[in-house]
Amino acid sequence: MWERVEDVSRPVRRPLTSVERFLDERARVVLDALPTRGAGGFLVEFLAFGLKQAWACVFGALMLAALLGTRLWYPHDAPLARNDLLTIVAVAIQVGMVVGRLETLRELRVIVLFHVVGTVMEVFKTDVGSWSYGSGGVLHIAGVPLFSGFMYASVGSYLVRVHRLFDLRFSRYPPRWLTALVAAAIYANFFTHHVLPDARWVLVAAVLAVWGACLMHVRVFRRSFRMPVVLAFLLVALFIWGAENVGTWSAAWTYPNQASGWQLVTIGKLGSWFLLMIISVVLVTWVYPPRRPDASAIGGSASVEP
């Protein structure tokens, strides 16, 4: 799955925020003293990978914590509806991410776009009965609480931050105009499959054809690794599916088969999240255009993909 392609100690090329730079410098003081070779060196890379992933997921983790916390301890008869509280918490998290310099204003633009794209789909999907939210509160659009858009925004936050933290590079990345067409078709299918034949498997095939040859280069700490980007899409979709199970257990939203009691979200939803990942990735490429690896890693010149 992973293949190590270089063993160097160059700094991350993507600009870190001031807070991330502060943490990175102090983490390096500790990690630089740890083993560089053998099993010890691998464990150091694994530790750095886990820490960076956790840091990239901070938005989503805080949102899940809010869902669980309000599910377990928030009074049902509180004057402020749970849905409204979750929206206020989500706004506070987003403001804190920017003010605390965990996200840049440039990244905020694409995160807001995630929010809009997700909310539009939520309004349609709840109207046709794909899932539903609990009643109550005033901060909603057509019965969809506004915190729902922040769940999509948390995916956008993860993707833009992981680009910086891991200095992601791509070999043989497809033209962005072509990826935009595929993403647009996927988004349209989320709506049209209710009245037209579902084209999701055709779209999955299109994703494999367009991104199948692409490799993602991931900078961890001292070393870089590479893996098929389609596999990365699937792994992130699997993680989101797991988070969705936490969200539905917290009763933040409910699928029709969960109306009589919570049960695991069907594995078929993994396909939907895989396709939604494509939309997310394409949106992020308009903030961070895909870049090729350094010349030393692939034997060619480093540049922006078309």
Asked which of 38-42, 56-60, 69-73, 85-89 is least confident by mean pLDDT, the reply is 38-42
The pLDDT tens digits of the residues spanning 158-201 come to 998 898 888 899 999 999 999 999 999 999 999 999 999 999 99
In a domain, 269, yes or no: yes
Task: Look at residue 302 and tell me whether its pLDDT is greater than 70.
Answer: no
- Number of domains observed in the structure of the chain: 1
Provide the mean pLDDT of the chain: 85
In a domain, 58, yes or no: yes
Task: Look at residue 206 and tell me whether its pLDDT is greater than 90.
Answer: yes
The H-assigned helical ranges of the chain are: 18-31, 38-56, 58-73, 82-99, 105-127, 147-165, 176-192, 200-211, 229-249, 269-285, 295-298
Q: Which structural domain, as residue segments, surrounds residue 38?
A: 3-298
In a domain, 242, yes or no: yes
In a domain, 304, yes or no: no
Q: How confident is the model at residue 225, as a pLDDT?
A: 86
CB-CB contact of 152 with 114 (8 Å): yes
In a domain, 305, yes or no: no
In a domain, 124, yes or no: yes
CB-CB contact of 97 with 13 (8 Å): no
In a domain, 141, yes or no: yes
